[in-house]
Amino acid sequence: MEKSKDKKTQVLVIGRNGQLGSCLHFLSEKPEVSSEFAFSFVDFPELNLTDENQIVSLFEENALKPDKKFDVCINAAAYTAVDLAETEKELAYNINALGPKYLAEACKKHNVLLVHVSTDYVFDGNSAVPYRETDPTDPVNYYGESKLAGENFVLSTWEKSLILRTAWLYSPYGKNFVKTMLYLLENKDQLSVIEDQKGSPTSCLDLALAIMQMIPTALDSQKAKYGIYHFSNLGETSWFGFTQKIAEFAGFSTPILPITTEQYPTPAKRPKFSLLDKSKIREDYNIRIPSWEESLKLVVEILMAENQ
């Protein structure tokens, strides 16, 4: 799987239009990245992740181009509508479980490193200390179940796979909590936000950068380590504390009231504790992880500048 010194690393990204795919696309245009990596981005409907034949064909056709043969496949596609997943179980399972299975099988056949993104929702949220990669899983909703099934398919199919569990993702792209709160802070007289769920808001830009930093080591057969890794920004807060910081960085003074999970019922249950232990990714891959406040400030500044 190692590449020659003069050949760019060929990276296939599944899910161009999502948050992570958009952040990877942003990085792909940076000179320090484009000098080392060549990217191919695909998304639905060009590629249907739930269609095994399409995935097989994509890899078979690519294998006929020796100079463009994929070294890495990043699966940035997922069904992420947590509440809808309770009633759209088949669709959620097809995208979050079968899709990764088909990708892992194709990556194994063609000796391609697979990077698959998963979630803190594989845990029940009852811990009092940050979750380690080896802690028992026990999802509290169907979205978490479907993502866990995807993890298990990947792990049992292809040994040269990296699974990155992350949590509370936001970015300058797509729909996410930060963009929603900025809109509400500007347009509502006051907000009520859940205060009894703990986690670490994670910038998708940081996740994308971490993945790109891991790839050279993961492609080096002498240094590579595979399996599950946890990545989120450092520190902890609640959705209420998260919203307070968004308002502070954006310059809004809209009143924000703390409420409990019980006061804001949702079709799908949420884990109350989503903190992830990042020791392993820092030790194995020497990844620098910024604080959630530092990264949030940057993204809020980007979004506010866009709205000028």
| Domain membership of residue 140 as a residue range | 9-176+202-234+273-290
Residue 157 lies in a domain: yes
Nearest to 119 by CA among 237, 243, 241, 270: 270
The pLDDT score that the predictor gives to residue 247 is 98
The pLDDT score that the predictor gives to residue 237 is 98
Residue 28 lies in a domain: yes
- Residues 55-99 pLDDT 10s: 999 999 999 998 999 999 999 999 999 999 999 999 999 999 999
Q: What CATH number has the domain bearing residue 281?
A: 3.40.50.720
The list of the chain residues with pLDDT below 70 reads 1-6
The answer to whether 91 and 147 are in contact (CB under 8 A) is no
The pLDDT score that the predictor gives to residue 45 is 87
- Residues 180-197 pLDDT 10s: 999 999 999 999 999 999
The pLDDT score that the predictor gives to residue 4 is 53
The pLDDT score that the predictor gives to residue 7 is 86
For the chain, how many structural domains are there in total? Answer: 1
- Predicted model pTM: 0.96
Residue 96 lies in a domain: yes
Question: In the Cβ-directed half-sphere of 265, how many Cα atoms lie within 13 Å?
Answer: 1
The pLDDT score that the predictor gives to residue 307 is 80
The residue with tokens 């599950």 is 228
Residue 94 lies in a domain: yes
**Helix (H, G, I), strand (E, B), or coil: what is residue 166?**
strand
Catalytic annotation on 173? no
**Among residues 79, 131, 143, 173, which one is catalytic?**
143
Q: In the chain, what percentage of residues exceed pLDDT 70?
A: 98
